[in-house]
Structures are given as C-alpha cells and as structure tokens.
Amino acid sequence: MTGTPVYFAVHGPMTGAATKDEDMQSQTIEPTNGHPEPARSRAVFSQEDFSLIRTAIAHYLREVQDQPDSVKYANLYHRLGRVA
C-alpha cells in the first residue's frame, strides 16, 4: 500500500453532545476574503513517507548508538514500524 495517505485529527475529537455539524461550524478558517471555510483534514504523511523516515532513523541510530538519546530514537523507530 505505498502512497496511502494517513490522516491526523487537526482539531482533536468531538467532545460533549455536539453533533458533527456543530463541530464543523466551530472549526472554521477565516480566509482573507472574510468568508469562513470549514477546516478539513489533510494527509500529512503517506505510508511511503513513514517507511523513508524509519529508514533514516535506523541510519541515525547506528551513528548515535552510544549516546543517551539513542533510546528515544529507538522507541521512535519501533513506533513508526507500527504505522508503516
């Protein structure tokens, strides 16, 4: 599934008793022409991007393997493995 977009919630989950329409009304973008437009989710990274980032982190891990921050990068590498 190379190139499949992954979507992230930009404004967080709906809370309370708000309906989807009410939530969309509260999440608007005010463009320069003065007409509000609903905010929409957009793909930030594709599946292929996650694979590339994971490969780059694996290379970096070999460079910093003896440093304290290497544990943080190792954890990130494994989390990306679940996504990719």
**pLDDT by residue (tens digit) across 4-62?**
555 555 444 444 444 445 444 455 566 666 677 777 888 888 889 999 999 999 999 99
In this predicted structure, what is the pLDDT of residue 81? 87
Tell me the torsion sign for CA atoms 13, 41, 55, 82: positive
pTM above 0.85, yes or no: no
Pairwise CA distance, residues 41 & 7, whole Å: 7
